[in-house]
């Protein structure tokens, strides 16, 4: 029974464009009406009709502890008694900044914002301000939020709906963004040779999660570090997904590469709207009020968001968290692979730690072009079968599957049985 969800979607479309506040949620790519979610606990979501789902979207990444974790709920309950926003400095912000600086290797000053989009927009502005240059390099299929400069050949919903660039982004601005194939160091080198003097920054998801998950080839990230250094460009790691997901210190710690600036979001807010960007002291000193590059936010450092984020990061800072996640993720993704193989269905699994993707294709997916070659019809049938069996996946092949600490071996085993059934009977 999905009556309530269907009624809500119908009503939503009367008041909200497409019925949703973020495009991929509408489920258009997989041809479904989305379940409307009423509550969540651990790795389970319940829709408005009371149907439970095992959740592998994790709110698109943030819920690495699972939903409604008692520490996060306690922190929020305590914080809310003291008011919801002051627009003034607080102790919580200082604790948050201190914890980020201790956890993330390249950050020694950090500014909080309200979303990943704000983090990348601000980092790009800062990079342009510091270098006095205009152009930026990004990669096809990487998504860095919906800021004007970054909506060129972007991933996530932009990829799902096949939009190469968005109307509303001035051509003059789009022309300053150069988008290159991921994992192609030669293309980056060539671009630096041609435009090196005017490239302010190179921004990259160190492990892209928005064209589905793609794994950086050995030395790709190292190559980006070397090239940006020799052309005096700013290397920005967009760790909005990978931050606190791959390891305590994110992808930069995991791969041992030090970017100049880092963007954070998702996990850092513990489920509340938060982002952050940070880096070396001298770079961050160019920001107002000490410096001349302007950036601000009425609700930035909001006490509720800080409380939820801090509670989350404190748990992630404890021993064994990431080894547990890795072990469960290995069980999940290798189980998926065997189930598909047993059913004779060609799939490629890309995974780093607790983020991964299943592509219906038979050659390795190393960039956006490869991801786009996967079988969309097959994905749609797989998606629909899983949803019917009570498994909530991201409704697009260009998104990641995220595991959380709440996904027990038992739940994973159950999910793998459903997947085997989907592979056998529905595809
Ligand atoms: C989600 C995401 C963003 C944008 O974050 P929002 O909070 O949705 O604005 C930016 N970069 C990456 C890598 C993301 O996955």
DSSP structure string for 118-141: HHHHHHHHHHHHHH---EEEEETT
Decide: 27 in ligand 1 pocket, CB within 6 A.
no
Give pLDDT, residue 155. 79
Decide: 205 in ligand 1 pocket, CB within 6 A.
yes
CA distances from 195 to 137, 179, 188 (A): 10, 13, 10
Decide: 121 in ligand 1 pocket, CB within 6 A.
no
The single residue of 143, 231, 254, 382 carrying the catalytic annotation is: 143
Point out the least confidently predicted range of 154-168, 230-244, 254-268, 411-425. Answer: 154-168
Q: What is the distance in A from the centroid of ligand 1 to the CA of 342?
A: 36
Answer whether the bond into residue 59 is a cis peptide, omega within 30°: no
What is the arithmetic mean of pLDDT over 140-152? 92
Q: Answer yes or no: is pLDDT of 305 > 70.
A: yes
What is the arithmetic mean of pLDDT over 357-373? 97
Contact 394, 24 (CB under 8 A): yes
Question: φ and ψ at 39, to 5 degrees?
Answer: -160, 170
Structure tokens at 357: 């993707």
Architecture of domain 70-316: 3-Layer(aba) Sandwich (3.40)
Rounded to 5°, the CA angle 188-172-177 comes to: 20
Residue 266 among the catalytic residues: yes
| Residues constituting the chain | 427
Give pLDDT, residue 10. 97
Ligand 1 atom with the smallest distance to the CA of 209 is 15
Q: Answer yes or no: is pLDDT of 400 > 80.
A: yes
Reduced to 3 DSSP states, what percent helix, strand and coil does the chain have, rounded to the nearest 5? 45, 15, 40
Give pLDDT, residue 352. 98
Ligand 1 atom with the smallest distance to the CA of 117 is 9
> Considering the chain, what percentage of its residues have pLDDT values greater than 70?
98
Q: Answer yes or no: is pLDDT of 162 > 90.
A: no
Burial of 361 (0-12, 13-18, 19+ CB in 10 A): middle
What is the distance between the alpha carbons of residues 92 and 25, in angstroms, rounded to a whole number? 32
Three-state secondary-structure class, residue 399: coil
Q: What is the pLDDT of residues 39-92, one digit of tens each?
A: 999 999 999 999 999 999 999 999 999 999 999 999 999 999 999 999 999 999
Give pLDDT, residue 181. 97
The single residue of 28, 135, 138, 266 carrying the catalytic annotation is: 266
Q: Answer yes or no: is pLDDT of 426 > 70.
A: no
Mean pLDDT of the chain: 96
Decide: 115 in ligand 1 pocket, CB within 6 A.
yes
Domain boundaries in the chain? 4-68+320-425, 70-316
What is the arithmetic mean of pLDDT over 96-103? 98
Give pLDDT, residue 165. 75
Q: Answer yes or no: is pLDDT of 159 > 90.
A: no
Give pLDDT, residue 166. 81
What is the distance between the alpha carbons of residues 300 and 306, in angstroms, rounded to a whole number? 9
Q: Answer yes or no: is pLDDT of 8 > 90.
A: yes
Residue 383 among the catalytic residues: no
Rounded to 5°, the CA angle 351-356-358 comes to: 100
The single residue of 140, 238, 260, 367 carrying the catalytic annotation is: 238
Grade residue 153 by pLDDT with cuts at 50, 70 and 90. Answer: confident
What is the distance between the alpha carbons of residues 318 and 296, in angstroms, rounded to a whole number? 32
Decide: 253 in ligand 1 pocket, CB within 6 A.
no
Q: What is the distance in A from the centroid of ligand 1 to the CA of 118?
A: 9
Ligand 1 atom with the smallest distance to the CA of 238 is 13
DSSP 87: S
| Residue among 377, 379, 357 at smallest CA distance from 368 | 357
Q: Answer yes or no: is pLDDT of 2 > 70.
A: yes
Q: What is the pLDDT of residues 321-355, one digit of tens each?
A: 999 999 999 999 999 999 999 999 999 999 999 99
Residue 238 among the catalytic residues: yes
Grade residue 172 by pLDDT with cuts at 50, 70 and 90. Answer: confident
What is the distance between the alpha carbons of residues 399 and 141, in angstroms, rounded to a whole number? 10
How many Cβ atoms from other residues are within 10 Å of residue 226's Cβ? Answer: 15
4-68+320-425 in CATH: which number? Answer: 3.90.1150.10
Grade residue 163 by pLDDT with cuts at 50, 70 and 90. Answer: low
Ligand 1 atom with the smallest distance to the CA of 145 is 4
For atom 11 of ligand 1, which residue has the closest CA?
144
What is the arithmetic mean of pLDDT over 121-141? 97
For atom 5 of ligand 1, which residue has the closest CA?
116
Decide: 143 in ligand 1 pocket, CB within 6 A.
yes
Contact 202, 188 (CB under 8 A): yes
Q: Answer yes or no: is pLDDT of 310 > 90.
A: yes
Q: What is the pLDDT of residues 260-303, one digit of tens each?
A: 999 999 999 999 999 999 999 999 999 999 999 999 999 999 99
Question: φ and ψ at 123, to 5 degrees?
Answer: -65, -40
Decide: 265 in ligand 1 pocket, CB within 6 A.
yes
Give pLDDT, residue 309. 98
Structure tokens at 284: 């961050």
């Amino acid at each position: 029974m999905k009556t309530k969800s269907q009624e809500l979607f119908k009503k939503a479309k009367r008041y909200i464009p497409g019925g949703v506040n973020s495009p991929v949620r509408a489920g258009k790519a997989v041809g479904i009406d989305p379940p409307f979610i009423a509550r969540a606990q651990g790795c389970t979501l319940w829709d408005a009709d009371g149907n439970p789902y095992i959740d592998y979207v994790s709110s698109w990444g943030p819920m690495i502890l699972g939903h409604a974790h008692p520490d996060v709920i306690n922190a929020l309950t305590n914080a809310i008694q003291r008011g919801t926003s002051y627009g003034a400095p607080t102790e919580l912000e200082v604790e948050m900044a201190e914890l980020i600086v201790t956890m993330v290797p390249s950050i020694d000053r950090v500014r909080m914002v309200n979303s990943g989009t704000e983090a990348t927009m601000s980092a790009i502005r800062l990079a342009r301000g510091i270098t006095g240059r205009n152009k930026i390099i990004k990669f096809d299929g990487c998504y860095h939020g919906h800021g004007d400069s970054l909506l060129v050949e972007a991933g996530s919903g932009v990829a799902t709906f096949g939009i190469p660039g968005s109307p509303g982004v001035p051509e003059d601005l789009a022309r300053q963004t150069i988008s290159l194939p991921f994992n192609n160091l030669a293309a980056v080198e060539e671009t630096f040779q041609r435009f090196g003097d005017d490239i302010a920054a190179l921004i990259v998801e160190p492990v892209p999660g928005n064209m589905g998950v793609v794994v950086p080839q050995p030395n790709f990230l190292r190559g980006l570090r070397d090239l940006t250094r020799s052309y005096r460009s700013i290397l920005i790691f967009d760790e909005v997904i990978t931050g606190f997901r791959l390891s305590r210190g994110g992808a930069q710690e995991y791969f041992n590469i030090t970017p100049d600036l880092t963007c954070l979001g998702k996990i850092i807010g513990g489920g509340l709207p938060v982002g952050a960007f940070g880096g070396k002291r001298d770079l961050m000193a160019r920001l107002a009020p000490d410096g001349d590059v302007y950036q601000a936010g009425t609700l930035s450092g909001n006490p509720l968001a800080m409380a939820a984020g801090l509670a989350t990061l404190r748990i992630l800072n404890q021993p064994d968290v990431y080894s547990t996640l890795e072990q469960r993720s290995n069980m999940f993704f290798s189980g998926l692979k065997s189930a598909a193989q047993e059913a004779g269905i060609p799939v490629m699994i890309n995974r780093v730690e607790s983020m991964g993707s299943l592509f219906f294709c038979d050659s390795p997916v190393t960039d956006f072009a490869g991801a786009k070659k996967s079988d969309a019809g097959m994905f749609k049938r797989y998606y629909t079968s899983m949803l019917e069996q009570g498994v909530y996946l991201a409704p697009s092949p260009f998104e990641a599957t995220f595991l959380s600490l709440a996904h027990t071996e038992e739940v994973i085993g159950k999910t793998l049985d459903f997947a085997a059934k989907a592979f056998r009977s529905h595809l």
